[in-house]
Structure 1
Amino acid sequence: MEHTVTTLPAARKPGCPFDPPAELIDARRHGPISRYRFPDGHEGWLITGYDLVRSVLADPRFSSRKELMRHHPLIDFGEIEVPPAPPGEFLLMDDPQHSRYRKPLVGRFTVRRMRLLTERVEQVTADHLDAMEKAGPPADLVTAFAKPIPSVIICELLGVPYEDRGFFQDNIDAFLGGEAGDEELFAAYTATQRYLAELVAAKRVTPTDDVLSDLTDSDLTDEELQGIALILLSAGFDTTANMLALGTFALLRHPEQLAAWRADPALTDRAVEELLRYLSVAKTFMRTALEDVELGGRTIAAGTAVILSYNTANRDPGRFTDPHVLDLGRQDGGHLAFGHGIHQCLGQQLARVEMRVALPALLSRFPTLRLAVPAEEVGLRPETADVYGVKSLPVTWDA
């Protein structure tokens, strides 16, 4: 009998904050592809296996276009027509529109350019660790460390004034955190869009040394620049902030791995990749079949929605040895935490630089760092959030 999943997003198993929801792990045990019944009754597919997720991400027969996403794991759209993505919001577009927006950005997020930012990331990290140390224990690692570091860096890259950083943190939290009501979501989104419109207009008049100013020299309209800025600010802040916080939580719950990293700084690159694989904070994405596609022994009919589960793909025993084990020395890399194909995360090298700098600096500065509350009391983001993580992470240390 074919396995069918009817509950998404599913809750994580109590006491297992780092593992995918049990329903997804169970679906993966039944095979890499399962049927999924959406709230509107539509039958789609849930893909949990590594090879099939990677295959769909690289296949142009599967679309990212927003207007084709008529079925949603949480929402019954009924007869409502889903509009196309706003100008500039290229994550929800296919080529050639997608490439038109992404291509001008690629050269600004290369490995070399992001490595040149290392010194600045080190400085920002040191500043926040200094402040943490001066204030003394305990501290909320989310507000003292995990949020401000990527927030400062992405705001500087885009030319957002430092004093406006808190505004972005609060509003991006509101529309990506998974807990805001409709009114709060709308207010946060509207306020952010209004601010970005003013910022783009200011860059047109007085360009500065930043990505957004550079783009005002192109043929992109103000509205398109506004959409691009929203994507970069959201993705460049929220995902890394949650990786820093949830990654620290995972390390504190795996003291043998934490000790191994402290003892051997040469583990850093592999440790970062393993945390990305193990936690997969950007956990699910969707695609729509543009034509009938044979996949995993099934026929995915044209117009059918497909949910891609990154966190189970990155825990696939067919791809990774002991996939549910956090192993900072792991040799079998190639995770999908940043996606794959034409929509692979543009800012992945920036995220890597921030993690490679910030996590070792934290562990070095506070060798006795530990949770200040029982692990089960750490507040987790709900599965409705686009990006998984912790809402707060109370920590302490020997001052």
Structure 2
Amino acid sequence: MSRLVVENVCKTFGATRVLDGIRLEVPDGSATAVVGSSGCGKTTLLRVIAGFENPDSGAVTVGSEVVTRDGFSLPPHRRKIGYVAQDGALFPHLTVGQNIAYGLDGGLGGRRRHRAQVRELLEMVSLGADYADRRPHQLSGGQQQRVALARAMARKPDLMLLDEPFSALDTGLRAATRQAVADTLRAAGMTSILVTHDQEEALSFADQVAVMCTGRFTQVGTPEQVYAAPADLFTAGFLGDTVLLDAILRADSAETALGRIPVQADAPAGAATVMMRPEQLVAHVVSLGDPGCATVRGVEFRGADVMLTLALDGRAEPIQVRRVSVAAPTVGDRVELEVLGAAVAFTSEQCAAAAVLNNGVPRTVTARDALAV
């Protein structure tokens, strides 16, 4: 068993509370992504779990072993935890095989004895046995990260920690490497935590996503839950683009500038702000003589899709709608909007209390401000 449990962990540097009562459970064999902006505390959390930092209070348990609690901290080398850093941190003077053997019993002295294990580990990260004789500078960035993962897995850890391991890679290589690493960890049944500031990376990599803001988790849940049903406006804005509309709620629907639209079942009645993702709105170009409800003011081409900026009739502020780029509307077209799924409603009190990061400083925002997050 390699379940991770973090209980009420706090950490302060000087006068700054970096971790503020963090609680997190990562089930055995699953992957969790901790996502947040720079300075929110996510890397500090990883370092506390690894043993590189001692918390001020709280406890960390890996499997059945408590590795950190008040007044006690197991040294990092005695924790069965693998760690992959942002740059891989391979030894440049050693070959790939020697780098991987460094994590095996006997280290470099047993590299001949471990040749078969090195080959198996290379295969696990989708690299051929011939890579064992190469030097790190002869590898691409993605290959270096796979070697770093193989070295970390050589110790057969109970838990794997990944500290923004793909951030230095270009877009195409990043996606391929991320998928290869995720597949490797799942095949090995290894519990893992990925720390990242990339929302798409977090949503695609993990079984569970924990969104962090100023040392606290705003929401922890499945990727689908935190994206489609965010707990607050910070979480909604951080995980993707949003469409926010003033509304009057009655039962399970809301009266908006788009007309009556469905909202979540437990939405409170009265004045509110409703949130939708741009892909929930489908723009249909209307035929000649049909008035439509909005005018296309801008079209941003993004390859597979486009982002449309629409001016709604009777509403001063434009909204954005995402759709496939094939046969997309053009500037000046009149469109009707179809709403897919339900919107998420927030009361005016929730909107006023939503705290987001503004250059590292918390601030209170209105619903429309959250669009800029």
TM more than 0.5: no
TM-score computed with the length of structure 2 as normaliser: 0.24
Which protein has the larger Cα radius of gyration, Structure 1 or Structure 2? 2
Structure with more contact order per residue of length (Cα contacts < 8 Å, sep ≥ 6): 1
TM value normalised by structure 1? 0.23
- Bigger proportion of residues as strand: 2
The structure with more helix, counted as a fraction of residues:
1
